[in-house]
Amino acid sequence: MYPFIVTVQGSPGAVFLDPSLLTTRLLAGGWVLLVLGLLAAIRYTPWRILRLSPERVHLVAGGAVACLLLWLLNIRMIDGLVLHLLGVTTLTLVVGWSLALLAGSGALLAFILAADLPWGGYPVAWLFTVALPATTSWLLARALYRPRLRNPFFYILGAGFAGGALVVLVDAALALALFSALGLARWVEGALAFWPLLFLVMFSEGFINGMCISALAVFYPDAVKTFDDRFYLDDA
């Protein structure tokens, strides 16, 4: 299965597993990871900067709403298979890892309420829809912050386009591993049967995030937390 595939009958978007399919140990582990992740996000969030810069708060709130709307836009391929984009890469590059986790968590709460889904599946949904995409995007952006890559082209193409595509690949691989561990052989076989869709969504995710980051880095560079215009644009 892919990270943007819904596995709850009738669910309209996001990565969501029916809690009845998960073991008690897995559910408990999911809640522990969720709590630890949110505590880390709260710990590393620059609250003082947010208090002094209301426009950053607007970016966080707007990013959460944008992700929610993006998750609600989906295409149902077959019964139980729904595809949609994530957009968390752009959110992470704009507001940073910690705020992306908090904003994405809030958006996912709103999504569950809107879709009337069981709360027991929230930790796994949070892991694949928010935590993994945000962490993957952040680590890639940090890896590209090197003197040899001191060019906005590397940032836009690498962190934006490639980052969005990499998020899909990582999510897909770990989701497939989870389904295998749960003994959901039918889902694994179905996912492998539709593997060409993975590349289609990788391109779409990379394109959407890349275009958003391109526009923001060019017209509003100060709004993108991970884009240092002095580093990428000033002469060495």
- Over the stretch 96-131, which tens digit does the pLDDT of each residue have? 999 999 999 999 999 888 877 778 888 988 999 999
Considering the entire predicted model, what is its pTM?
A: 0.86
Do 80 and 9 meet the contact criterion of CB atoms below 8 Å apart? yes
Say which residues have a Cβ less than 8 Å from residue 110's Cβ, sequence separation at least 6. Answer: 64, 68
Residue ranges covered by each domain of the chain: 19-233
Which run of H or of E encompasses 75? strand 75-78
- Over the stretch 42-98, which tens digit does the pLDDT of each residue have? 999 989 888 888 888 999 999 999 999 988 887 766 555 667 789 999 999 999 999
In this structure, what are the phi and psi dihedrals at residue 148, rounded to the nearest 5 degrees?
-70, -20
Counting every residue written for the chain, the total comes to 236
- What count of other Cβ atoms lies within 10 Å of the Cβ of residue 93? 29
DSSP state of 79: T
**CATH of 19-233 given 3.40.50.10580, 3.40.50.620, 3.40.30.10, 1.10.1760.20:** 1.10.1760.20
